[in-house]
Amino acid sequence: MLRGMATVSFYADDLEAAKTWYTEVLGVEPYYAVPGAYYEFRIGDYQHELGIINRKFAPAGAQNHPGGAILHWHVDNLRTTFDRLLALGAKEYDPITPRGDGDFITASVIDPFGNILGIMQNPHYLDILAKTQPA
């Protein structure tokens, strides 16, 4: 059934500002661009896709405020990443929170465009990564 995250899509009223902000956050330029409509970044160990879409192309009935599911991206240092996102203009949505036995730690922010960006230190992610890397 579900095989893995392929693309997560965020909407922005100011697409160019969102492209600039995410280029700064991610440290890479979008690899695919449709100016005025869509920018897509490939990021991380598995080159997952983060798409930034002009909000005028959002589905009918889409909300223009944070809510719904939170996709958490694994990061190596949650505190450093969280602080950096806040310094770049994001707002805290969910504070840094240990989960379960404390090995899983999550936080999330609202980007300057109204999207929830989740971050996580996740030992399961690191276990899977270790199994997929060449010896």
Which tens digit of pLDDT belongs to each residue from 66-100?
Answer: 887 899 999 999 999 999 999 999 999 999 999 98
Size of the chain in residues: 135
22-53 pLDDT, tens digit per residue, is 999 999 999 999 999 999 999 999 999 999 99
State the chain's mean pLDDT as an integer.
93
Task: Tell me the HSE value of 14 on the side-chain side, using a 13 A CA sphere.
Answer: 9
In sequence order, what DSSP letters do the residues of 87-132 get, joined into one string? HTT-EEEEEEEEETTTTEEEEEEE-TTS-EEEEEE-HHHHHHHHHH
